[in-house]
């Protein structure tokens, strides 16, 4: 069975020949650039500077050699836009604070501050204030708060939709080239079109904008979901209209080459609970998710992918009602996220993508034997009757022992024998 066929069967809740695997298909199922290099070294693939394809989280490109060795069934497709507003092109060398030589985009421009922390700039423009910082002891960037004074009488929802633009001819041409290059790929293609993430706090600070306006402080944004709901509805309505317009242009270009589209990474869960009630979710977010998902299902064959970490069992029925086909991940070490119960209750209504091994404790700090046991258990729970794509609970983080990553990979292969 071809990887694309295997993924499609899982997405249609049919039993494929083996559990399909995704690493690198999305910005939530990737691996830190240091882990990618460690895997290449472990498998004896030779020295190679790994590309940082998602600089915000410092995710590395999982190339064809690793795709084959790991047994990955997916492949990401996008036009190379990064969260910092520059494209993945004109690659250059960069030495990380942990002494790894990597390749970064040509407009990946940084500067050290007086503390030795690394600052990065929107669209690579050093003439404006930096938008994110990598502390010297860290392995990825944190958004900087560039929120100006807020006067409610002057707030304009359009300020918070500045980054959501109608797609232009240049980007349409890029999509045509990317799709044509990947149209006959045997792996399932996961597309990231952009513009459909409603209120994702990773995006609220707008690290790609030189002078962001509106509500850009994360704390203020959360407060606004209670105190400025009319503002948020007007913002989401504008954003959804632009998103549908772009989808209507891109759908005839992409057609059925793409199997899955990443819709949104907005998190609604904490380690112990949801951060909002079901009623709040269904009032603020669900109408706009439903609008986008309905359009996609009515006009394409794509399956829609929703990332949401944390303890979200109470919200899963609402996510299903919102039209999502896929939930990523299952953070099974969060409260009330019993995997067998989730599979029994919702396994025929939504695809569980991820949740193959805990990335907070077991994968980074367990033994290879503990990793193997966890992976085999998770596969045994979720693989029944399809509806499952293996990946870790979130990105594989820096400093994860390579022996544990290999134990995870080997355990999936063992289960699939």
- Integer Cα distance of 329 and 337 in angstroms: 11
- Integer Cα distance of 348 and 361 in angstroms: 29
Decide: 309 and 201 in contact? Cβ < 8 Å. no
Using only the alpha carbons of the chain, give its radius of gyration: 21
* Model confidence pLDDT, tens digit, residues 211-260: 999 999 999 999 999 999 999 999 999 999 999 999 999 999 999 999 99
Share of the chain above pLDDT 70, in %: 100
Check pLDDT > 90 for residue 309. yes
* Model confidence pLDDT, tens digit, residues 291-307: 999 999 999 999 999 99
Q: In whole angstroms, what separates CA 407 from the centre of its chain? A: 24
Cis (ω within 30 of 0) for the bond into 183?
no
CA distances from 218 to 43, 199, 223 (A): 41, 10, 9
CA angle 332, 73, 388 (to 5 degrees): 35
Q: Where are the domains of the chain?
A: 3-30+146-416
pLDDT score at 14: 96
* Nearest Cα to Cα of residue 96 among 110, 82, 113: 110
pLDDT score at 354: 97
pLDDT score at 361: 97
- Integer Cα distance of 213 and 161 in angstroms: 9
What's the CATH fold of domain 3-30+146-416? Answer: TIM Barrel (3.20.20)
- Integer Cα distance of 245 and 248 in angstroms: 5
* Model confidence pLDDT, tens digit, residues 91-133: 999 999 999 999 999 999 999 999 999 999 999 999 999 999 9
pLDDT score at 46: 87
* Model confidence pLDDT, tens digit, residues 20-76: 999 999 999 999 999 999 999 999 998 899 999 999 999 999 999 999 999 999 999
pLDDT class for 321, splitting at 50, 70, 90?
Answer: very high
Residue 343 CB partners (closer than 8 Å, separation 6+): 352, 381, 382, 384
The three-state secondary structure class of 132 is strand
Decide: 396 and 404 in contact? Cβ < 8 Å. no
- Integer Cα distance of 313 and 337 in angstroms: 6
CA angle 181, 302, 339 (to 5 degrees): 115
Average pLDDT over residues 362-377: 98
């Amino acid at each position: 069975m071809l990887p694309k066929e295997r993924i499609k069967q899982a997405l249609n809740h049919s039993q494929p020949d083996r559990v399909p695997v995704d690493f690198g298909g999305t910005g939530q199922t990737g691996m830190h650039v240091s882990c990618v290099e460690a895997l290449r070294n472990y498998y004896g693939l030779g020295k190679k500077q790994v590309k940082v394809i998602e600089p915000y989280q410092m995710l590395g490109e999982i190339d064809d050699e690793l795709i084959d060795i790991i047994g990955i069934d997916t492949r990401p497709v996008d036009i190379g836009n990064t969260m910092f507003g520059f494209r993945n092109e004109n690659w250059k060398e960069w030495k990380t604070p942990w002494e790894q030589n990597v390749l970064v985009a040509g407009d990946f421009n940084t500067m050290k501050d007086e503390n030795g922390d690394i600052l990065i700039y929107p669209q690579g423009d050093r003439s404006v204030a930096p938008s994110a910082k990598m502390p010297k002891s860290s392995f990825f960037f944190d958004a900087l708060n560039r929120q100006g004074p807020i006067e409610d009488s002057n707030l304009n929802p359009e300020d918070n939709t500045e980054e959501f633009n109608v797609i232009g001819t240049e980007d349409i041409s890029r999509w045509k080239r990317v799709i044509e290059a990947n149209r006959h790929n045997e792996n399932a293609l996961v597309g990231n079109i952009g513009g459909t993430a409603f209120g994702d706090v990773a995006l609220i600070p707008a690290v790609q904008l030189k002078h962001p306006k509106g509500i850009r402080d994360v704390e203020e944004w959360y407060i606004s979901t209670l105190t400025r709901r009319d503002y948020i509805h007007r913002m989401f309505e504008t954003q959804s209209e632009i998103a549908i317009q772009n989808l209507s242009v891109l759908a005839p270009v992409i057609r059925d080459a793409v199997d899955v589209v990443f819709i949104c990474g907005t998190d609604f869960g904490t380690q112990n609970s949801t951060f909002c009630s079901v009623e709040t979710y269904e009032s603020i977010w669900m109408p706009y998710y439903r609008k986008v998902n309905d359009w996609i299902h009515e006009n394409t064959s794509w399956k829609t992918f929703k990332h949401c970490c944390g303890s979200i069992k109470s919200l899963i029925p609402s996510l299903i009602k919102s039209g999502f086909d896929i939930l990523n991940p299952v953070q099974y070490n969060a409260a009330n996220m019993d995997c067998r119960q989730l599979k029994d209750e919702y396994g025929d209504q939504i695809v569980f993508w991820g949740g193959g091994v805990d990335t907070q404790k077991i994968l980074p700090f367990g033994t290879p034997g503990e990793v193997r046991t966890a992976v085999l258990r998770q596969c045994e729970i979720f693989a029944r009757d399809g509806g499952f794509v293996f990946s870790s609970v979130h990105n594989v983080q820096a400093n994860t022992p390579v022996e544990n990553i290999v134990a995870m990979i080997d355990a999936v292969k063992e289960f699939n024998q």
